[in-house]
Amino acid sequence: MIEEFEVKKEVFENLPHGLTHFEISLDGKSYEGHYRNGDVNWFHPHPLQENHEIPIEEIEEQVREIIIKHIH
């Protein structure tokens, strides 16, 4: 489960190609990435590189839900 979530910056938020830079904490480790048009793209390190109890698909779904709530 995501322990902390922070939207770092909305990049080009008023443009169609805008994206959201986010940071999460998962099992005590921090990860960052971009969200745009329903897609989550991770920076390194990638949560998939670790053995988290939650599958990456569930982590990304939680990220999508939180960001959608944040931007609406």
Predicted pLDDT of residue 12? 55
Q: For residue range 33-64, what is the model confidence (pLDDT) as tens digits?
A: 999 888 999 998 888 888 888 999 999 999 99
Range of the domain at 25: 2-71
If one counts the domains in the chain, the total is: 1
Residue of 61 and 14 predicted with greater confidence: 61
Q: Which one, of 64, 27, 67, 66, lies nearest residue 49 by Cα?
A: 27
Instruction: Out of 15-19, 21-25, 57-61, pick the least confident.
Output: 15-19
**For residues 38 and 34, what is the distance between their CA atoms, to the nearest angstrom?**
10
